[in-house]
Chains A and B, each alone.
Chain A
């Protein structure tokens, strides 16, 4: 139907059909649902096709006969492992390993009380702990079983603390449909870069900047408007699995156990896995993982350009420098939350910016507050919140996008949901090893240091994500001629 013409009877029907779909997909209409489901429809179902669908459902939800066979095999292997374990224990050769197992059990037991996904079976001589968690892609589940025997044998009063290691060393299996999905998302991510999609990337021209009290010239760059999202990072992880880059996968994997350490037991199974969080910023990733992501995106971009015979320059992709973050904020290319208290790299006390920056940032904030209804949400620092409050806050996203985020790169939706899930971001201090967790405003520097310490201890945090910058060395503005 063209946009501006009279409609006829047929087109009115089409519009009404479309409207009924739009309305019923946005709200839960119990009355209409019950009406539709209570109707009698002609019984013309093809029995073979019906059986196919039912079998497929059973298979995909892990209820097929095939899966039963696998469970049997798994049980046999477990039994053999237990016998072997018992033999080694009696021979006294694996005492150290047993201690580690014992410590793991203790840690797991502590967490078990509050975590619904931990199930424990105990008898007088041995314990088996089944640790069950959704994998990164939220589709497959795996079970890890750890067994130990009489705990009185290991009565070390000060056992060394052992981390709960749920995902370590395990690479999830990708189903064919996952591979197809993530390949599609990868292509969308690459095309966004090639098309210089303004929804996701902003070009910042070369200019001068007062940094650490000196005037410097900043090369041109393109900055991501929003953090890298869960969906994008999962696409990267899926591609590592497809490329059989196991070691890189293990370095880059999302450390969901960080949630558990803070007793965020629901989010541990939801935030990275559930598709309703697809467009929230990815968190719990290490600096190493982030570097691998940047390298992967850069390499995949090159391959895509080559494969499609495109005329496009080689782009470097990396984390932003503090100079770039400061300039982008000063010139209004990137929004920052700039509140009373402590503002990391944007705080004069750190000596990176001068008072002129502060005045400019205050002006930008006034403008942003006027035009962006989500500013207060964006500026809310959620570090240290209770899980319940955090989930409630995240659920505000559903008020803006009631449909569950689809599996696609859609910048309008990403802009809203990354604001609601706003976290600190990794920023590298230029010519230094210092990594800032920037972008959030803090009540005091002491509060910020808690996050920094947590990030250092775990090499990642549920409150730290990242965005990237794109550098085009062929950009005439990239090198200032007088520099």
Chain B
């Protein structure tokens, strides 16, 4: 097992500090600068993620640091997703003057977990036809990564990405709208 995980599994003061120093700051920065969360929300997510990792780490073993990174990231994204939906729901509630107040938790959860909007279904369908790197570009740009950052990830020139992204975005909008109108 990797040393980092061994250390963290000790769950003492040093382990918690190590976990925070390795992941906490990065995740905070990611939440603030890429997902535009406010400070308190971002700290809350960092806390929830690290607390969860400490609680469940004994149930897992990791062959490489990358695998552990992936695990931490997944836990964080799950928390982020919940926060994102909660923020979105609050926004809708305000906009709709609490029209949703009669909906049960389960219906809300169903709408979150299983009911995809026609727009989302169409987007997924069309995006799946894209080449991998182009698909990644669209998803990462939506997360506010710069062309330079994405370029280093997908190994393509940043200038080319900018041009491609602008075109692809228009194509996506047209195709999604076309697909949605057919679906109605």
Contacts and interface: CB of A to CB of B under 8 A. Distances in A.
Interface stretch (A57-65, A237-245, A342-350): A57-65
Contacts, number: 177
B74 A41 contact: no
A18 interface: yes
Interface in A1-27: 1, 3-9, 11-13, 15-25, 27
B139 interface: yes
B90 interface: no
A412 B113 CA distance: 10
Given A19-B139, A58-B16, A32 B73 contact: yes
B78 A7 contact: no
Nearest to B21: A54
Given A31-B66, A36-B73, A403-B78, 19 more contacts: A1-B119, A12-B172, A12-B173, A15-B176, A21-B84, A24-B74, A29-B70, A30-B66, A36-B26, A49-B39, A49-B43, A54-B16, A54-B24, A57-B16, A57-B51, A61-B11, A195-B104, A197-B104, A410-B105
Nearest to B115: A3
Contact of A409 (B23, B54, B71, B106): B106
- Chain B, interface size category, equals 35 or more
B32 interface: yes
Contacts of A52: 43
B28 A45 contact: yes
Contacts of B54: 57, 61
Given A33-B66, A39-B149, A54-B20, A9 B39 contact: no
B142 A33 contact: no
Contacts of B172: 12
B139 A16 contact: yes
A410 B66 CA distance: 33
B72 A53 contact: no
B84 A30 contact: no
Given A24-B73, A33-B70, A37-B73, A61 B16 contact: yes
Given A3-B118, A54-B17, A28 B23 contact: no
B180 interface: yes
A327 B12 CA distance: 56
A contact residues, range? 35 or more
B100 interface: no
B77 A53 contact: no
A28 B67 contact: yes
Interface in B126-147: 127, 138-143
Nearest to A270: B59
A6 B180 contact: yes
Nearest to B119: A7
Contact of B105 (A21, A188, A270): A188
B70 A30 contact: yes
A53 B24 contact: yes
**Closest 3 interchain pairs by CB?**
A41-B29, A33-B73, A16-B142
Contacts of A35: 153
A199 B50 contact: no
Interface in B94-134: 104-106, 109-110, 113-114, 117-120, 123-124, 127
A50 B71 CA distance: 23
A411 interface: yes
Contact of A63 (B13, B39, B124): B13
B30 A41 contact: yes
A56 interface: yes
A72 interface: no
B15 to A, nearest CB: 8
B25 interface: yes
B6 interface: no
Interface centre among A15, A22, A197, A411 (most CB of B within 10 A): A15
Contacts of B67: 28, 30
Residue of A3, A20, A21, A197 contacting most chain B CB atoms (<10 Å): A21
B33 interface: yes
A168 interface: no
B177 A7 contact: yes
Contacts of A13: 142
B177 to A, nearest CB: 4
Contact of A24 (B77, B104, B127, B149): B77
